[in-house]
Amino acid sequence: MDKQEIIEKLRSIVKPYSNNQNAFDNLTESTDFISDLQINSANLVDVILDIEEEFDIVIDNQSMERMLDVQSAIEIIELKLSEK
């Protein structure tokens, strides 16, 4: 799966939790889930669970710690996919 595909999947995952339409429309690798998309921190766990389901991976606690922006999410997803 290439990076663009991952970003597209991430885009549809974060959509229902995003509270900033402008930041969502302009989503890039540097987009921050909390400060840019204004995802409620209690919903960040839903983003993580949705990622696990969508990519069929398990995100351990250490990875979850840095799951705050699109770039880290991509790195973690790529790593977990490569370990499958």
Per-residue binding string, another protein, 48-67, x by CB under 8 A, is: xx--x--------x--xxxx
Q: Cα separation of 16 and 76, whole Å?
A: 21
Instruction: Check binding of 31 to another protein (CB under 8 A).
Output: no
CA–CA dist 26, 21 (Å, integer): 9
DSSP designation for 35 = T
Indicate which single residue of 22, 41, 56, 83 sits in contact with another protein (rule: CB under 8 A): 41
Tell me which DSSP letter residue 69 carries: B
**11 within 8 A of 3, measured Cβ to Cβ:** no
CB of 4 to another protein, least distance (A): 25
# of chain residues touching another protein (CB under 8 A): 17
List of residues contacting another protein (CB under 8 A)? 35, 40-46, 48-49, 52, 61, 64-68
